[in-house]
Chain A
Amino acid sequence: DIQMTQSPSTLAASVGDRITITCRASQSIGNWLAWYQLKPGKAPKLLIYKASSLQSGVPSRFSGSGSGTEFTLTISSLQPDDFATYYCQLYDTYSQFTFGPGTKVDLK
Chain B
Amino acid sequence: EVQVSQSGGDLVQPGGSLRLSCVMSGFMPRRYAMSWVRQAPGKGLEWVASISDDGDSAFYADSVKGRFTISRDNSKNSMYVQMNRLRVEDTAVYYCVGRIDYWGQGTLVTVSS
Contacts and interface: CB of A to CB of B under 8 A. Distances in A.
Interface of A: 34, 36, 38, 43-44, 46, 49, 55, 85, 87, 89, 91, 94-95, 97-102
B44 A99 contact: yes
Contact of B45 (A46, A95, A102): A102
B101 A55 contact: yes
Contact of A94 (B44, B51, B104): B51
Contacts of A49: 100-101
B103 to A, nearest CB: 4
Contacts of A99: 37, 44-47
A34 B59 CA distance: 19
B104 A43 contact: yes
Which of A43, A44, A98, A102: most chain B Cβ within 10 A? A43
Chain B: interface secondary structure?
strand
Contacts of A98: 47
B77 to A, nearest CB: 17
B103 A44 contact: yes
Q: For chain B, give the interface size range.
A: 20 to 34
Interface in B92-108: 95, 100-101, 103-106
Given A46-B101, A97-B50, 4 more contacts: A43-B104, A95-B59, A99-B44, A99-B45
A34 B100 contact: yes
A43 B45 contact: no
